[in-house]
Structure 1
């Protein structure tokens, strides 16, 4: 009886350690999957700017490639999806994950949604905002990584001894930002924060020089 109780206690303790390990490692599913390739789907654009989706797609592949992953060429992806009758990003996102993964032979799929992509002009100040959501799943739809970034940019009008001069400079800065909003720099920053500078960033891929060292290091006690 004593041996039986000891066995039960050991089993409970082991289960507790396993649960703690999973809890301590927020990227446990990603580490178990270790994807080598990422399929970046067309971006679902919920903003009123029709260029938002394509602008996001111009900034992501290089970042993911530099992180050590093979990224399927976005133009090739778009063409193949259209050959399958999938022209709208929302319809693509609604397709079974297994279907999309098998179509391209991808290990992981990245879904990006633009929630906001605006440049607001109020009085003599223009503020540009982006709100992007990123979700990576494995080839059977299990979530591996998820982040959301909301960034805004307001031009700095600088300092001036004259209130009138400051108002003029602010008005000019606002007009420039309104004419040419800093969407791309903001999007690049959002991408970097989502995958690199965030806590628990995207692990390096197999084509990264730090891949072997990263996975040789224990991720949780």
Structure 2
């Protein structure tokens, strides 16, 4: 009986391994709606800040337009967008995100809008380390139809590639103390937010944004 069970386990093990490996592969994003809409201009809305850091929204907002412009889209100027919302009595990101897509299209004339959520922003302190993490997610919505064209997530930290080699426990404690001082006295989150924004919105990555019409890669992907 035991031999029979062991044989069955031996037969099932390769299948379980294959299933486990397959499940780790990201599911390819369906770009059908994105390619059909062919957006040329993008309105980036002020990000929703779900972190306790009050500067998170402005920090991310100042950096998300660059990768979109590099990808080949015309991006509505942030200063113009911000002033237009203020003139219409809209200063809170939650209220702006609640506006109907058709209304945004009427006001700005953009083809699509990028909605961004900030889930993590800032330093996390532990006994042996201090790590700055920025985590963001986004969705691109067709302003004519309200259809979601694309969604994505990305994160970055200032501890990437740090193997904490050498120094032992005392070295780790000293390094953590130094990092805590640096992270608390300087804005270490801002450059990390830039990395996260590039990872989120740069075109050409797996399941990432498609290239826009001003990019040489545009005709290739279509």
Fold shared, TM-score > 0.5 on shorter chain = yes
What residue number does 2:196 align with?
190
What SS is found at the alignment partner of 1:167? helix
The answer on 1:211 being equivalent to 2:218 is yes
Displacement of 1:132 after TM fit? 1.0
Q: Which one of the candidate residues 59, 65, 76 is aligned to 1:61?
A: 65
TM-score, length of structure 2 as denominator length: 0.78
Stretch moving more, 94-103 or 122-131 = 122-131
Normalised by the length of structure 1, the TM-score is: 0.78
RMSD of equivalent CA atoms:
2.3
Q: Which ranges in structure 1 are unaligned for 5 or more consecutive residues? A: 1-22, 216-221
The answer for the alignment partner of 1:138 in structure 2 is 142
Instruction: Please state if 1:113 is matched with 2:117.
Output: yes
TM-fit CA distance, 1:57:
1.1
Deviates further, 83-92 or 29-38: 83-92
User: Are the counterparts in 2 of residues 124 and 174 from structure 1 also a CA contact under 8 Å?
Assistant: no
Q: Within 2, Cα distance between the matches of 1:119 and 1:175?
A: 11
Kept in 1, the 8 Å contact 2:136–2:200? The answer is no
Give ranges in structure 2 of 5+ residues lacking alignment: 1-26
CA shift digits 1:185-220 (9 cap, x unpaired): 3222222322336413211111112222322xxxxx
For residue 168 of structure 1, what is the aligned residue in structure 2? 174
Q: How does 1:86-165 map to 2 (within 5 A)?
A: 86-139=90-143, 140-154=145-159, 156=162, 158-160=164-166, 163-165=169-171
Change (3 A) 1:24 1:87: closer
Give 1:166 deviation, angstroms. 4.5
